[in-house]
Structure 1
Amino acid sequence: MTDSLVRTAGTRIVAYAAHDDPNVAACNLIALVVAFNQPLYPLYVYWAVSEHISPTFFTFLPTPFFLAVPAVARRSPTTGCALLPLTGMANTVLSASIMGQASGVEMFLIPCALIAAIFFRPSQRVVALALVLLAALIYLGLDGAYGAPIHIYSADEYNAFFRLNAMSAGMLTVFVGLVASGMLSRQA
């Protein structure tokens, strides 16, 4: 029974992420992977940084927007694809405000910009460039402007936070690259 339930859930998730446009389908997949990984972030912080994880619960606020990407993309593919990096950028700003810049969470702007650069068609280049520019402006414009985080971690904890977020943002960037390369290999 459990196996059948898992298969049914998996089939529904795949159907929800599906789209005729491979770029849109790729954004849908990435959005769902991010959404399904968000509940794990407090556990990663607990294991790698500190037992004080309550600030990480705020990172759940953007989860419905990640989950909504495929639904929005059905109505407007460009808007759906744009919602993914926009939600990622909003989550990054929220997280930097709550946990502090020293946590290194701003590194998540890199996969946001990469998604914008890769998954828009040439006719949508203005949208892609605007999103990439927005990621850069957030990084440069908000530097030092976040204010005090909810909880001040120790220097050692911030070093661990930075390593955790560097690894997480790096792995998300690699995943985005793998999705894009898989898409390209199917087009060849």
Structure 2
Amino acid sequence: MMSIPKSGQEGAPRADPLASAAGATALVLALNKPVYPLYVWFLAESAFHLSLLTALTMPFYLAVWYLSRIGASRAARLGMVIVGIVDTLAIAFILGGESDMLAFLFACLMLAGLCFYRSEIWLSRGLIAVIFVLFVALEGRIGGPLMSVSERDMQNLAFLNITGAAALAAFIMLRFPRPWRPD
């Protein structure tokens, strides 16, 4: 029986650093899914029941993380961007336009720019263009939440989402590898 070398052993395939970063991002987002409703409960109680729906996308982030772990590099990297877009749009329509969920599209833009290699530049640029067009087309045009949310709670929810999008952007910038500049 042939044994597969473990990572770090001689002859073992090296992990793709971009897929690893995409997988780590997916795992952070998956782990945040059950916690987000707790934040909402404390900051915007009237939106709590709606926020429970946001956990429905957790399995998709776990699938991206799994793909990154088994070496399906391109699928994990592409999946991270696509799941991020779909998740953001779904939650924006659930929580309503005033929730500022579309701010997470900026993190998706970053992912579309960072998850791909130079040989995949047109895939990256295409995704960036799609995300930009989605933002421009939807900003200010998404209706209200699926259930009534008080005005004060919506303001708190918007603050929570803007802060969350900024935190995710910071995590992405800290986690994704930077190419070394030749001397």
Classify the secondary structure of the residue corresponding to 1:72: helix
Classify the secondary structure of the residue corresponding to 2:171: helix
Q: What is the correspondence of 1:1-188 to structure 2 with a 5 Å cutoff?
A: 20-73=15-68, 74=70, 76-180=72-176, 183-184=177-178
- Using the size of structure 2 for normalisation, the TM-score is 0.83
How far apart in 2 are the matches of 1:75 and 1:32?
A: 16
Structure 2: which 5+ runs fail to align? 1-13
1:131-157 deviations in whole A, cap 9, x for unaligned? 211211221222354344211322211
Classify the secondary structure of the residue corresponding to 1:53: helix
User: 1:76/1:127 Cα in 2 relative to 1: closer, same or farther (>3 Å)?
Assistant: farther
Structure 1: which 5+ runs fail to align? 1-18
Between structures 1 and 2, the one with greater helix share: 1
Percent identity, please. 27
Aligned Cα RMSD in Å? 2.0
| 1:134 maps to amino acid | V
How far apart in 1 are the matches of 2:65 and 2:149?
A: 37
Q: Which has the higher contact order (CA 8 A, sep 6+)?
A: 2
How far apart in 2 are the matches of 1:52 and 1:143?
A: 20
How far apart in 1 are the matches of 2:126 and 2:49?
A: 34
How far apart in 1 are the matches of 2:90 and 2:105?
A: 12
- Equivalent residues of 2:46, 2:148 under 8 A apart: no
How far apart in 2 are the matches of 1:91 and 1:60?
A: 10
How far apart in 1 are the matches of 2:140 and 2:63?
A: 31
How far apart in 2 are the matches of 1:34 and 1:55?
A: 18
How far apart in 2 are the matches of 1:142 and 1:100?
A: 11
**Aligned pairs, how many?**
168
- Equivalent residues of 2:97, 2:143 under 8 A apart: no
- Using the size of structure 1 for normalisation, the TM-score is 0.81
